[in-house]
Amino acid sequence: MPSSPHLRSPSRTSIVAVENVSCSYGDFLAVDAVSLSVEAGRIHALLGTNGAGKTTLLETIQGFRRPLSGGIEVFGRDPWRHRTEVAGRTGTMLQESGLVDEMTVADQLSLWRGVSVREDSVDRVLKLVGLDHRRRVPVSVLSGGERRRLDFAMALWGDPELVVLDEPTTGLDPQSRRTMWSIIRDLNAAGTTVLLTTHYLDEAQQLADSVTMLDQGRIAIEGTMSDVLAAIPARITFDTDADAPALAELWSLVAGDVAQTPAGGTNNDPSARATVWSITVQTPELQDDVAAVMDWARARGLRLDRLRCAPASLEEVFFEMGSALTTGKA
Amino acid sequence: MTTATANSKSPSRLISSLMFAELRVFMRQPVMIALTLLLPAGLLGITAVAEVSDQPDVWAQIAGRNVVATQCITVYFVALNTITARRHTLALKRLRTTALPSFGIVAGLLTPPLLVGLFQVTVVLVGLGFLGAPMPDSPLLVTVSALAGMVIAALAGVVTSAFTANPEKAQWTMLPLFVAAMGAVSILPTIGEGMLGVGLRLVPLVANAHLVTAGWIPGDVSGATVATDLGIMASWILVLGVLAWRTFRWERRH
């Protein structure tokens, strides 16, 4: 059994501390020297493509697998050696629901009441996930989304200190997905720490305070959500029929890079002098450059169609990272 | 925000909760109720129609064979099927996310086949008495043999489940042990106590049947026979226990 080295300066409020952990399946290294920390009361998202090592890392954190090397502490304990102790304080939702088909929904939760060290009521958790009207239905006839919600209810049983969710909203309809987000936010507001994996980058961006992006078992990007998003410039986009001198002036006013491309059409007014341009300003100074663009347009009486300004999305970061890794820049 | 409260439960309380839940699930399945009631009824019915005898030796052999039939069909097959099904649906892995100890999860899942097996063995042996069988000369040997056989059958079910991908395949993977044990038990009385007889007793559960038979027949049972059978049983419990520990998988097999 590998030793559990004393973790280097883990934060006092760190619920999950992973230090230089590697995991393998035979010769295949699924997780390669990953370190991360999940602070108490935060939501941390593990992101990555299929096979990036998210679930392997998550299961190692839960004590299902022994790491090849490195150390993990959850609540200050080695989860491999103290699995039951860690599990008693953790609510878990697996990537696939592990339900007993012969049971009814209420039976499944009654079983959970019996085997959980935390107390709760079946009625409360069923109402929480919107399954109270399905309590007498056999698990075998639940839809995929309802199974996920029942699984979620089991993870929430007894208000655990840490909730681990492996792709929690996969297979859910948009409304159920939003409802689950809302419940996760409420849990987090009440002090619960959440560690989740997801394929949905918008979900991570909506929920997470911090992220770790894995690529082929290694950390590609990590940090707080704002830091990660700041890695890619924000964008201001709009369509305008400004003439060339006006556009040249815009270039000198903003701090970011300006790109102009034909918008794919011309003004309907045959007397109009200009082609419509799609302008994209990529800027590290979103607020200042928005003000500069608006001042520029107002001074010239220009209308900015399809105006949009936003920081980079996690999706843009993800794909930027992907192309950087593919071309060997990272 | 919630009415949830923290509480501390002992591992034994958690395990007993799982045992009761599994028992409830078992008893709600019509096919399992049928198995529970019809197997002993069928075994006793066959005996009543075709095997009633005034020979104590014959009753002893019937008792040994019926005990092993119950252990093979109920304890072994239901244990194999339950563990395989729970693994296949990931319920095993899900239970591992709780504070239940790993051993407790397996013990909880094995509770229904063990209890139902115990019920059936009791019904079969008492039923033989009603059909005219003499009382066993050594109830202790019969009891020890029957209980050890349940443990062997349950462990064999756990080991076989490690090589069984889903419940459908359990119908095939159970066959080697089932055929070997029932075949050996059926021909053992005609073989006698020679080398071949001892060899047959090495098949799992056959030593149990032999000891039930030996404990049923009036007269002293030789110490060597008891020691040999008990040694074989203990060896199987040890070997299957180690194999179950080493081969057990929580993840679904593909």
Q: Which of A117, A161, A163 to mutate to probe the B interface, most B CBs <10 Å? A: A117
Domain for residue B2, yes or no?
no
Residue of chain A nearest B89, judged by CA positions? A98
Most confident region among A15-24, B57-66, B215-224 by mean pLDDT: A15-24
CA distance B216 to B225: 13
**A155: closest chain B residue by CA:** B97
Classify residue B248 as exposed, middle or buried by CB count within 10 Å of its CB (0-12, 13-18, 19+): middle
B7 to chain A: which residues are within 8 Å by CB?
Answer: 117-119
Q: Do residues A196 and A38 touch, judged by C-beta distance below 8 A?
A: no
pLDDT tens profile A4-33: 434 434 445 899 999 999 999 988 999 999
Average pLDDT over residues A290-296: 93
Chain B partners within 8 Å of A103 (Cβ): 21, 25
A85 interfacial to chain B (CB closer than 8 Å) = yes
Q: What is the pLDDT of residues B42-53, one digit of tens each?
A: 999 998 888 777
Instruction: Give the confidence band of A215 by pLDDT, cuts at 50, 70, 90.
Output: confident
| B254: in domain | no
Determine, yes or no, domain membership for B67: yes
Task: Give me the helix-helix angle, B77-88 and B139-161, nearest 10°.
Answer: 30
HEC string of chain A?
A: CCCCCCCCCCCCCEEEEEEEEEEEECCEEEEEEEEEEEECCCEEEEEECCCCCHHHHHHHHCCCCCCCEEEEEECCECCCCCHHHHHHCEEEECCCCCCCCCCEHHHHHHHHHHHCCEECCHHHHHHHCCCHHHCCCEHHHCCHHHHHHHHHHHHHCCCCCEEEEECCCCCCCHHHHHHHHHHHHHHHHCCCEEEEECCCHHHHHHHCCEEEEEECCEEEEEEEHHHHHHCCCEEEEEEECCCHHHHHHHHHHCCCEEEEEEEEEECCCCCCCCEEEEEEEEECCHHHHHHHHHHHHHHHCCCCEEEEEECCCHHHHHHHHHHHHHCCCC
**Least CB–CB distance from B29: residue in A102, A154, A158:** A102
pLDDT at A298 over 50: yes
% chain B with pLDDT above 90: 68
Question: Each residue of B96-136: pLDDT tens digit?
Answer: 999 999 999 999 999 999 999 999 999 999 999 999 888 89
Nearest to B89 among A84, A90, A101 (CB): A101
The two three-digit tokens of residue B22, written as one number? 């599994």
Question: Total domain count for chain B?
Answer: 1
Cα B166 from Cα B164, distance rounded (Å): 6
Q: Tell me, what DSSP letter sits at residue B221?
A: P
Contact A98 B7 (CB under 8 A): no
Per-residue pLDDT, B2: 38
In a domain, residue B1? The reply is: no
Q: What is the mean pLDDT of chain A?
A: 86
Whether residues A115 and B18 touch (CB distance < 8 A) is answered with yes
Residues 86 through 145 of chain B touching chain A, CB cutoff 8 Å: 86, 89-102
Residue A160 confidence (pLDDT) above 70: yes
First to last CA, chain B: 42
Task: Provide mean pLDDT across the span B166-194.
Answer: 89
Residue type, position B122, single letter: T
Give the pairing type, strands A193-197 and A162-166.
parallel
**Cβ-proximal residues to B125 (8 Å cutoff; 6+ apart), any chain:** B63, B66, B67, B136, B142, B146
Is-contact A237 A278, C-beta < 8 A? yes
Residue A1 pLDDT level (bands cut at 50, 70, 90): very low
Confidence of residue B54 (pLDDT cuts 50, 70, 90): confident
Residue at B253 is within a domain:
no
Tokens of B12: 């034994």
pLDDT at A195 over 90: yes
pLDDT of B106: 95
B21/A124 Cβ within 8 A: no
Domain boundaries, position B166:
9-247
pLDDT of residue A269: 52
Q: Which of residues 122-181 of A touch B (CB under 8 A)?
A: 124, 154, 157-159
Position with higher pLDDT, B240 vs B251: B240
Segment among A120-129, A187-196, A283-292 with least mean pLDDT: A283-292
User: Would you say residue B13 lies in a domain?
Assistant: yes
Q: Is the pLDDT assigned to residue A271 strictly greater than 60?
A: no
Q: What count of CB pairs under 8 Å joins A to B?
A: 102
E-strand ranges in chain B read 5-6
Identify the pLDDT of residue B183.
Answer: 93
The residue with greater pLDDT, A98 or A314, is: A98
pLDDT digits (tens, 9 = 90+) for A91-137: 999 988 889 888 999 999 999 999 999 999 999 999 999 999 999 99
pLDDT tens, A49-89? 888 899 999 999 999 999 999 999 999 999 999 999 999 99
Structural domain contains residue B252: no
Cβ atoms of A198 and A315 closer than 8 Å: no
In a domain, B3, yes or no: no
What are the φ and ψ backbone dihedral angles of A168, each rounded to 5 degrees?
-65, -30
